[in-house]
Amino acid sequence: MFNKENKSTRDAYGEAIFALAKTNKNIVVVSADLAESTRVQKFAKKYPERFFEVGVAEQNMLGVAAGLSLSGKTVFASSFAVFSPGRNWDQLRVSICYSESNVKIVSTHAGLSVGEDGASHQALEDIAITRVLPNLLVISPLDYEETKKAVIAIAKIKNPVYLRLHRQTSPQITDSKTPFQIGKANILQAGKNLTLVGCGPILHEAIKAAENLKKQNISVEIINCHTIKPLDKNTILKSLQKTKKLITLEEHQIAGGLGSAILEQVVSSYSVPVKLIGVQDTFGESGKPSELWHKYKIDSQYIEQEILKIIKNPR
């Protein structure tokens, strides 16, 4: 399944936006001094008239993006997830969401996997602060190919979107033919004993855990819920009606993330034993991604252990 080389979601963004720009002349990119890191520099070089560098000024970046959208443009605003939506949430709320601006906030370097840069640069709250905003779609793609499809899909719609991406390379789980539809969760593998719903590259840890558990005759249904808002309640509910047990997984704080969205919108009306896996109300620190995932209990080892717990003792 994973014999291909690892690739990053930010690279997928850079390539997709570059390719899209050729046919879609309406696309413009705004950057806050992170064109290289967010991989939009290739776009910037080829289409300088459609690239706007605002400097280290994330608040202004979103205001300028809103203004460009008023002039009819489809705007991609790129920075790191800690800064955007972290630094410019008020601008996101009023200039973008309340105004229904055609702006895509594409932020890389989300999650613990930023690694050595440490806690100040590890966005673990961005899903929580974006999914509470009316009119905003929130998407966290699984891998390289899915990110490309997500970029193409969000360029076609007028809604404001938050697209959560990552710096580090990760396994390619999907391929160019895997379907992708905003708001439609994908079942990565079918199973009958437990449903695991997650988003982002961290889902690879769940796949590893599930692989191990096959030896014990445990089959896990893994759902890639790339769109956190709007949530695909039906796909999750159908799976829960079958397995009656739920684990959620995200490289994000448990509070306010995908797991809590599922509690609010699915488990609130269909009660099952549930365990939310994510960062437990703490900041991260410097370290290698795999070390951090282990220490902060979102790696395959922890997932496996929690699956076993919930299956053996559901209540």
Partner 1 sequence: MKDYSLVELKNIANLIRQDIIRMTAHAGSGHPGGSLGMADIFTALYFKILKHNHELPHWTERDRVILSNGHICPVLYATLAERGYFSLHLLKKFRQINSPLQGHPHQHSLAGIENSSGPLGQGLSIACGLALGAKLNKQNYQVFALTSDGEHNEGQTWEAIMLANKYKLNNLINIVDVNGIQIDGYTKNIMPLGDLKAKYQSFGWQVLTCDGHNMKDIINTLTKAKTSNKPVAILAKTILGKGVSFMENNFDWHGKAPNQQEAEKALIELKKYV
Write out the residues near partner 1 by the rule CB under 8 A: 28, 49-50, 52, 54-55, 57, 59-60, 62-73, 90-91, 94-95, 98-100
Residues constituting the chain: 315
SS3 content of the chain, % helix, strand, coil (to 5): 40, 20, 35
Nearer to partner 1, 75 or 246 (CB): 75
From the candidates 58, 125, 250, 304, which is the catalytic residue?
Answer: 58
Nearer to partner 1, 55 or 314 (CB): 55
Strands (E) located in the chain? 7-8, 27-31, 51-53, 74-80, 103-108, 137-139, 161-164, 169-170, 186-189, 194-198, 220-224, 227-229, 246-253, 274-279
Q: How far is the CB of 226 from partner 1 (least distance, A)?
A: 29
The neighbour count for residue 275, using CB atoms within 10 Å, is: 17
b/e map 167-190, b = 16+ CB within 10 Å = bbbbbbbbeeeeebebbebbebbe
Cα torsion angle, 17, 154, 168, 34, sign: positive
Q: How far is the CB of 35 from partner 1 (least distance, A)?
A: 15
Nearer to partner 1, 74 or 108 (CB): 74
Q: How far is the CB of 176 from partner 1 (least distance, A)?
A: 32
* Whether 58 is catalytic: yes
Q: Which residue has the tokens 């769109």?
A: 227
Nearer to partner 1, 21 or 150 (CB): 21
Strands 7-8, 161-164: parallel, antiparallel or unpaired by DSSP?
A: unpaired
Nearer to partner 1, 9 or 74 (CB): 74
Helix residue spans in 103-213 (DSSP H): 126-131, 144-156, 203-213
Contacts of 294 (CB under 8 A, 6+ apart): 301, 302
Nearer to partner 1, 103 or 182 (CB): 103
Cα dihedral value 216, 219, 223, 224, nearest 10:
40
Q: Which residue has the tokens 């979102």?
A: 298
Q: Which two tokens stand for residue 96?
A: 């973008």
Q: How far is the CB of 243 from partner 1 (least distance, A)?
A: 43
Q: Which two tokens stand for residue 126?
A: 């961005």
**Which residues are known to be catalytic?**
58
